[in-house]
């Protein structure tokens, strides 16, 4: 039985790999941003200047091959991330807003973002159920989990494993329920913390869009992380978003952050397709009493105030939570339930608002 792998073994191995343009090894140059080991699986992140990403793809492949050949390694994944280099006379720092690269989107007809100002409001659960509902309406659908720091869509969609290579630097998304998925959660272990700065996040998103063989799709649903930071801004720059859906509970604290999200999308020129009031009510299964645990009607009032359509009011539901945790969303597990019908209603509204009805008609 071989001894447990160590980071020292991995870095010793990588120190034998020279940067072709600098005549030094990649470890001493500081290109190895992180090494993560889980049992016999190794994940490595190389951080390089953004203009060298394409040129260093052979080096990435060589690093992956070298580590995979080490005794005790059963799988190895090496990811290139990029930072923007700046002239010392240009002003600013490396952590400032990076230059966006426009995504190649010729085979994807629409992009719909699902966002929230605050975490814990059911945004990811809404995104996965909407993606499946859109698929069941006859569309070709992809799901991009853009929450680099806390990816949850692999579990919610019930997929696992590493995306397979399909030639060159391209990989294929994994698929379940007819939905094509790409997520950072498919590339790194569940217990790995992604301690990345803005430029590295943008590079990862660019790769998940441009280096993934999505194929011909009518729409990609983008599950945004909560907040109004680098990821949201980068995506608004990189893709021509058809529009965004904002999810929130009625709670006053959540609504404060919703206002920030609305403002961000407005400044980015992204149309708001509507708002979803999630966890709107809770009905006691024993006595039938209805309670507004997170407040009453807050999202509806905010939507009306701002002239945004309220797409639906979704109840606080055990079946929605169970479906998300089990990898079988409620639209699949309980297709005749009120919750599933509500997601279908939202999907039908989005089809009209985003012009996706044209795609369904064309395919018929």
The model's pLDDT over 245-268, given as tens digits with 9 standing for 90+, comes to 998 887 767 677 778 888 888 877
For 86-126, the pLDDT digits (tens) are: 333 333 333 443 334 444 445 899 999 998 876 778 889 99
Domains of the chain are 7-83 (3.30.300.130), 108-363 (3.40.50.300)
201: pLDDT strictly greater than 80:
no
Residue pLDDT, tens place only, 331-358 = 999 999 999 999 999 999 999 999 888 7
Task: Note the pLDDT of residue 202.
Answer: 67
DSSP E strands in the chain: the ranges are 18-19, 24-25, 32-38, 41-49, 75-83, 108-115, 141-145, 174-176, 179-183, 217-223, 243-248, 272-277, 282-283, 290-291, 310-313
| Backbone torsion region of residue 97, taken as left when φ is above 0, otherwise alpha when ψ lies between -120 and 50, otherwise beta | beta
37 pLDDT band, cuts 50/70/90, is: confident
Provide the pLDDT confidence category of residue 237 given band limits of 50, 70 and 90: low
Flag whether pLDDT at 170 surpasses 70: yes
CA 207 to chain centre: 12
Q: Is the pTM of this model over 0.85?
A: no
Question: For residue 178, what is the DSSP state?
Answer: T
Contact at 8 Å (CB) between 213 and 104?
A: no
Average per-residue pLDDT for the chain: 80
The pLDDT value recorded for residue 199 is: 60
Q: Give the pLDDT of residue 99.
A: 39
pLDDT above 90 covers what percent of the chain? Answer: 32
Q: What is the mean pLDDT of residues 159-171?
A: 81
More reliable by pLDDT, 202 or 163: 163
Nearest Cα neighbor of 154 from 188, 104, 108 is 188
- Residue 1 — pLDDT band, cuts 50, 70, 90? very low
For the chain, how are helix, strand and coil distributed in percent, rounded to 5?
Answer: 35, 20, 45
The mean pLDDT value for 217-223 works out to 94
Other CB atoms within 10 Å distance of the CB of residue 62: 16
Where does residue 301 rank: exposed (0-12), middle (13-18), buried (19+ CB within 10 A)?
A: middle
Q: What tokens were used for 27?
A: 């470890």
What's the pLDDT at 125?
Answer: 93
Task: Indicate whether 197 pLDDT > 60.
Answer: no
Task: Considering only residues 150 and 63, tell me which one the structure prediction assigns the higher pLDDT.
Answer: 63
Tell me: the pLDDT tens digits for 298-315? 778 888 888 889 998 888
Look at residue 93 in the predicted model and tell me its pLDDT: 38
Pair 247, 294: CB distance under 8 Å: no
pLDDT of residue 113: 92
Tell me the pLDDT tens digit for each residue of 63-95. Answer: 989 999 998 888 888 887 765 443 333 333 334
* Per-residue pLDDT tens digits for 266-282: 877 889 999 998 887 66
In the numeric block, the tokens 């329920």 are attached to 177
């Amino acid at each position: 039985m071989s001894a447990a792998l160590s980071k020292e073994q991995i870095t010793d191995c990588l120190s034998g790999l020279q940067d072709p343009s600098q005549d030094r090894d990649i470890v001493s140059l500081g290109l190895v941003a992180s090494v993560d080991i889980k049992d016999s699986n190794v994940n490595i992140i190389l951080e390089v200047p953004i203009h060298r990403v394409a040129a260093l793809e052979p080096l990435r492949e060589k690093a992956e091959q070298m580590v995979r050949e080490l005794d005790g390694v059963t799988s190895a994944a090496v990811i290139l991330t990029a930072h923007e280099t700046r002239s010392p006379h240009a002003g600013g720092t490396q952590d400032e807003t990076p230059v966006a690269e426009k995504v190649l989107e010729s085979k994807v007809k629409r992009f719909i973002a699902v966002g929230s100002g605050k975490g814990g409001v059911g945004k990811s659960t809404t995104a996965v159920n909407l993606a499946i509902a859109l698929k069941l309406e006859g569309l070709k659908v992809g799901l991009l989990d853009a929450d680099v720091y806390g990816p949850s869509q692999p579990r919610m969609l019930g997929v696992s494993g590493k995306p397979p290579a399909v030639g060159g630097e391209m990989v294929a998304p994994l698929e379940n329920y007819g939905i094509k998925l790409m997520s950072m959660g498919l590339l790194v272990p569940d217990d790995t913390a992604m301690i990345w700065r803005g430029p590295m996040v943008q590079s990862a998103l660019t790769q998940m869009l441009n280096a993934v063989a999505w194929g011909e799709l009518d729409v990609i649903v983008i599950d945004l992380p909560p907040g109004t930071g680098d990821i949201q801004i980068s995506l608004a720059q990189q893709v021509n978003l058809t529009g965004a859906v904002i999810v929130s509970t009625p709670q006053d604290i959540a609504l404060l952050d919703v206002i920030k999200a609305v403002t961000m999308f407005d400044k980015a020129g992204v149309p708001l397709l509507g708002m979803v009031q999630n966890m709107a009510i809770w009905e006691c299964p024993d006595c039938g009493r209805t309670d507004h645990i997170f407040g009453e009607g807050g999202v509806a009032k905010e939507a009306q105030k701002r002239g945004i359509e309220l797409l639906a009011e979704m109840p606080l539901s055990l079946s929605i939570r169970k479906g998300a945790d089990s990898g079988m969303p409620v639209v699949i597990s309980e297709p005749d339930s009120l919750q599933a019908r509500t997601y279908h209603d939202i999907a039908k509204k989005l089809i009209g608002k985003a012009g996706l009805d044209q795609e369904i008609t064309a395919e018929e």
